[in-house]
Amino acid sequence: MTSIEEVPIEQGPIRPPSEAYSLLLRLTRNCPWNRCEFCHTYKREKFSLRTGREVKKDIDVVQQITSEIRALSWRQGFGGEITPALVHLILKNPRDYPESFRSILLWLHAGARNVFLQDADSLILKTDQIVDLLRYLKKAFPSVDRITTYARAKTISTKTVEELTLLSQAGLSRIHIGLETGYDPLLAYVQKGVTAQEHVAAGRKVKEAGISLSEYVILGLGGKGTWREHAMGTASVLNQIDPDFIRVRTLKILRTMPLHKKTESGEFVLLDDDGVIREERLLIEHLERIQSFFVSDHILNLLEEVEGKFPEEKGKMLAAIDRYLGLSASERANFRLGRRAGIYRFLDDLRKPELRQEVEKAISRIESETPGGVEAVISELMASYI
């Protein structure tokens, strides 16, 4: 165990929710652009490339820990298998096992199939270097059948379709791109560093290379001033790309984000939840000629049930939005607090008396302590999820 603790695996700070059970393998540190005004993750952190030797050493350590875990399984009478009983044994004794040991245990328990390459823009590495690392990883763990990564559209534009195809053939399965918005003035305003047409070109390259594409959209990014343009421009870009996945995130501004100064000065005015939902409806309404999965896989999104496959489930998604907007003001407030407090997941939860009563009690308690304080509590809850 001492050797494992002395050789930690380097990991970055974030990953997509869809990679919850993936092995995190860090190829680069932080973000090479790092100017987006809605992001705080890498601010004041220096970007750097990890060497192939460093990354391969991490893969070797994962192999070493995997062997240790399987040996422990044999000693405990589980025949080398990663059983629920073994997982429980290790997780209930965190002081006896290092964090890397526990994270790899969970990865093995999930089948050791998925790997996520960190940090914000792994494809900035030279293509042949990435291919070499992918091959090394696949040789070390033949069970791996999905490898994904974040990448900037600007970086993808520097690679040819042939290069991306080589990455696909080496095992890269999916690329996550932060589209955020398809409205050029807003892209410039939040300093995204890329244009709508560059997003379109990059997305089409990824698709042509046979790599699954996930595009992220930030609901509320247009604020009160340009929410319509944000929704319409974003729909236009997505219609031209037809990504495999469209994943939405709702804007929440923290003090550590550059955009916060613009909200304090009144230059940028945030949409309230109802405004964000109307914006989301306009976006979905204008998504046409695509076969994407629309995914709402984050607690910041108010309506988790607004997801499905285009075009067949478009009507279902719009109906869910209309159902929320058709609620009374008090019912919407009740749902908003319950959702952000983790009491509700779906609109149907409003029909469950025990859950509704729990939220009503919370509202009464908040109002008795701080009249009008529900909005502040919702804001604090949202901030806690970032």
Which pLDDT belongs to residue 3?
39
pLDDT tens per residue across span 116-155? 999 999 999 999 999 999 999 999 999 999 999 999 999 9
- Smallest CA-to-CA distance from 21 within 103, 142, 101 is with 103
Q: Percent of the chain having pLDDT more than 70?
A: 98
pLDDT tens per residue across span 328-363? 999 999 999 999 999 999 999 999 999 999 999 999
What's the pLDDT band for 111 if we cut at 50, 70, 90?
A: very high
What are the residue boundaries of the structural domains of the chain, listed by start?
A: 9-60+112-328, 329-386
- Smallest CA-to-CA distance from 29 within 5, 16, 10 is with 10
Mean pLDDT of 152-173: 98
How far apart are the C-alpha atoms of 90 and 17, rounded to whole Å?
A: 24
State yes or no: pLDDT of 288 exceeds 90.
yes
Q: Percent of the chain having pLDDT more than 90?
A: 93
Give the lowest-confidence range in 81-90, 96-105, 303-312: 96-105
Which pLDDT belongs to residue 7?
57
Which pLDDT belongs to residue 49?
97
State yes or no: pLDDT of 5 exceeds 70.
no
CATH number assigned to the domain covering 9-60+112-328: 3.20.20.70
Mean pLDDT of 46-53: 97
Please state whether beta strands 23-26 and 114-118 pair in parallel, antiparallel, or not at all (unpaired): parallel
On average, the pLDDT of the chain sits at 95
Which pLDDT belongs to residue 4?
40
Which pLDDT belongs to residue 98?
86
State yes or no: pLDDT of 2 exceeds 80.
no
State yes or no: pLDDT of 365 exceeds 80.
yes
Mean pLDDT of 67-84: 95
| Half-sphere exposure in the Cβ direction for 120 (13 Å, CA) | 21
